[in-house]
Structure 1
């Protein structure tokens, strides 16, 4: 028998009208009551409006997108715009609409997901990143709600996800620099909580080990964000070393942009490669070599997996690896 709003009310010890107000995020309901009611809905696996939709033999035809960026950053980061373009193209062809939100923290993302599910506004959710001990993924799994991740999650065997082979991509970048004659290669990455950081760092390490080059921990800088400011500070630290690096691999173009600023100020230009092939990379002096990770295809494949699962189509695989390629520009071609 289907779970009803009255079942949730009984479980939470409140009235059905209070449950309804929690579902619609009424500001008059206390945080304590919201927690109790949300816990009851999770325990009972109650999805508001699910019964009504099944009776009507229809769905919302809407996908929710959870963007891990503030409103200020969202439209300055080409990766998210391009991934959303890929999602939009496929979703529109399948007659699906999109609803998106952006956030300042992982906790805020979970709250948005809870509201999406409880309101019955969306049929499934796209996450744009994978973290260590990911709270969004854990919450969606507890609620047994359809979702896909752009990024390789931990324990992802039963999760739909799409990503690049980030280990291999950074392995290729590091090998490229080694083949140009560099042995002391600095690495600048973003926060360690993100799978992309850990995987690209592993690719860097594997490339050095395979060529019997010592890994020097002081040449590896893990920043607290993927911002230009982080890249700038990390590069200043690398340049201040008694034995500084000969070349730089940056795990994101914005880290590379900041690193190039620090190099300009120091008067020392080192070969450097970024990731994401941002449009701005072409207009710098020198122009920045960068790895094209094909974000349009990442987005398209992600939403394709999700929509096919919503349509109960047989999926021959639960994850997709999208290829990358190095775009060589002046920051490495002249060495």
Structure 2
């Protein structure tokens, strides 16, 4: 059986240095870490992480809290992509990922309470920002290390969060539709208690106001971040007395439902209604028509949130509590210019 002493002998390091490399101690140089890890692979050494974690009083596990049940959330490719980013960095730092959700808000709260009070995890990543969230209040009360993907409306200066500037993103994509000659634009957002919906809608309204276009309640529709949500949104659009000539959709998956349902009613995108969306998920380019969408760099949101939560768990200094991932518009075929 290969031991730490064998690794030390093979590398010319002391056993204590090898132990620090296994613990990923920041005081050990990257060159030494690479040399020791190479020897561990070559000799087939596998550290007893459970024993080490018990000594360090650490689980080396991060819990990721979904906004709804896993069955519902994982229908949206946003979550699989952000989890890919989170998981890649956690793996590189030898942390494990634990996925937590609940069929109801009560179930989800009890699961978080169990994880925190039972010390099953070192930190938590919240994959959403919601108004009046009891989980957020609980984590703050417990002073437990956590990071939020999204902007908190409360305690903004106290909570570490990774986000896009969704107000600006909403404004940018709406201004693009206006620049193409569109004047009757409808916003299709997610749940009204999600901060991402609030911010993107605010940007949408700002763009209309600055362009001298009217802003009315009829021009805003709320639905679920699912393909079925797009179907429900179109049913509301079809009942409007004056139908829009363009829509801003807060999620690419909703857009799929919008396009297919419009086609069922003999309407086309962009022939009858232009469509601009958000997220730039993997199928945005291959569907017909390909989506003009805001690329929010989902993978980077995941990576940066995992970097931040590990720093909190290991008492490292964070330069800022607001980490903004830049966005950009990807121009494709779902928007037409109005003559």
**What is the aligned partner in structure 2 of residue 241 from structure 1?**
240
Following superposition, the deviation at residue 174 of structure 1 comes to 0.3
Following superposition, the deviation at residue 79 of structure 1 comes to 1.1
Q: CA RMSD in A?
A: 1.9
**What is the aligned partner in structure 1 of residue 83 from structure 2?**
84
**What is the aligned partner in structure 1 of residue 306 from structure 2?**
303
Distance 1:206 1:256, change over 3 A: same
Distance 1:258 1:324, change over 3 A: same
* Structure-2 separation of matches of 1:325 and 1:267: 32
**What is the aligned partner in structure 2 of residue 215 from structure 1?**
215
CA deviation map 1:140-184 (0-9, x unaligned) = 112221111001112221011111111000100100000000011
- Aligned with 1:330: secondary structure? coil
**What is the aligned partner in structure 2 of residue 321 from structure 1?**
324
**What is the aligned partner in structure 2 of residue 186 from structure 1?**
186
Matches within 5 A, 1:96-245: 96-155=95-154, 156-223=156-223, 225-245=224-244
Matches within 5 A, 1:246-285: 246-269=245-268, 270-285=273-288
Matches within 5 A, 1:30-45: none
User: Does the aligned pair in 2 maintain the 1:65–1:125 contact within 8 Å?
Assistant: yes
User: Does the aligned pair in 1 maintain the 2:192–2:198 contact within 8 Å?
Assistant: yes
* Structure-2 separation of matches of 1:54 and 1:262: 53
Distance 1:334 1:183, change over 3 A: closer
* Structure-2 separation of matches of 1:331 and 1:253: 12
Following superposition, the deviation at residue 197 of structure 1 comes to 0.5
- Size of the alignment, in residue pairs? 283
- Aligned with 1:103: secondary structure? coil
Gap runs ≥5 in structure 1? 1-51
Normalised TM-score (structure 1): 0.80
* Structure-2 separation of matches of 1:189 and 1:157: 26
